Amino acid sequence: MGHLKILRLSMLVLIYWKICKATNLTTVDPPTNLQILDPGYLGELHIEWQAPASLRSISNCVLRYQLQYYSTDEGRWKTVRTTHLKHSARFDLGKEAKVKVQSLLKGQCTNGSELQSVWAERTLQPSQEGIPESRIKNLACVFYNWEYMECTWQRPPYLNYNLFYWHSKLDHAMECADYIQSNGVNIGCNFSSADLEDYTDFNICVNGSSAAGPLIPVYFRFELQNLVKPAVIKKINVTKVGNERLHLEWKPPVGKIKSHCLEYEIQCREDENEWTSNFKKGTTFTSSRFDPTQHRHCFRVRSKLNMYCADNELWSDWTANLCFTEEYELSEASMFIALGTSLIILFAIALSLWIRRRGLKIKGGEDGILL
């Protein structure tokens, strides 16, 4: 009876081994129905695909996907591994949007190794419509003191443009509500704080139309914290510490910028010498030396967001020059030296005049004898 049980168990193991061997895969199919969808978010595209039909019912392996898309902003392919069937990414719609995805399979059905399928690829071509040379140039946006933003652009003559924007808190793209105009033509847009969203992609499209046809749209993406320009520092004070140092103190600019997000550049100048720079995270600065031979010491300060809050180089404007003028007093010894020097000079002048006058008298007397 025991031998019979062993025989049955051996047969079950053999059957299970044959089943496993029969289901071990050596190839895997790629995803199907790869699509690039434009929801109207000015460059935020949705990428979707479906699992290969041959793997939809598999249970003893893990199916994942490797997505790659070409980032025109960074000039390189970016890679995402996911178990989902969709992904969103930012593209410049004025250029080709290129994506590719492949299946990754690993588990019992592959005997522990990872199988990769060939790539499924898709490219979305940009619109070619528009009057040649009708693109705007040099869009510049500045987020002033984290409170309001101004974007301006240069345009070809006689063409008018419209600006649209979108970020993740909006259901659809919005048009600028406050255009900056020159001679009745849009050259920029003012954004209030209600229009903006921090630490998220801010997509902009500038396009338009004319009697000759549509204008070529131009797309931009910003992270608003990188556009922040702090306000000018207004409260600044300098005092003398001891006989050899000057101490500078200031207040952070008033506004929405957190004080821990700011760093400062302090410039110093003695008389008409060149400015020298120092960089600080705090709001105080003490000069390392104080040259008593210089009579005028000037300072100015500016600020920007530090590396922990943003990645930018937008400095505020400089403060007005704040100058410290030292009043010097002569010591008692210096006074005696100065007085003695003055007396010597005066004595020398008086002696010279006396000798000159004496010489003239002698000469006059001699002339009289000759007559």
Identify the CA nearest to 258 among candidates 192, 303, 202.
Answer: 303
The pLDDT score that the predictor gives to residue 341 is 67
The pLDDT score that the predictor gives to residue 188 is 96
The CA angle 184-190-191, to the nearest 5 degrees, is 150
CATH architecture assigned to 23-124: Sandwich (2.60)
Query: What distance lies between CA 296 and its chain's CA centroid?
Result: 36
Identify the CA nearest to 305 among candidates 362, 252, 360, 266.
Answer: 252
The CA angle 140-143-148, to the nearest 5 degrees, is 120
Domain-wise residue ranges, the chain: 23-124, 137-229, 236-325
- Please tell me the CATH superfamily of domain 236-325, with its number: Immunoglobulins (2.60.40.10)
d(CA 256, CA 98): 40
The pLDDT score that the predictor gives to residue 287 is 80
Q: How many residues belong to the chain? A: 371
The pLDDT score that the predictor gives to residue 16 is 46
The CA angle 24-27-30, to the nearest 5 degrees, is 130
- pTM (global) more than 0.75: no
The CA angle 357-361-364, to the nearest 5 degrees, is 135
d(CA 148, CA 257): 12
Q: Do domains 23-124 and 137-229 have the same CATH topology?
A: yes
CATH architecture assigned to 137-229: Sandwich (2.60)
d(CA 325, CA 298): 9
Other Cβ atoms less than 10 A from the Cβ of 47: the count is 23
Q: Is 220 helix (H, G, I), strand (E, B) or coil?
A: strand
Q: What is the DSSP letter of 212?
A: T
Distances (CA, A) of 131 to 95, 188, 291: 17, 21, 65
The pLDDT score that the predictor gives to residue 25 is 81
What's the token pair of residue 121?
């690829």
The pLDDT score that the predictor gives to residue 15 is 43
Which residue ranges in the chain fall short of pLDDT 50? 12-22, 328-336, 338, 363, 366, 368-371
Q: Tens digit of pLDDT for each residue in 78-118?
A: 999 999 999 999 999 989 999 999 999 999 888 889 999 99
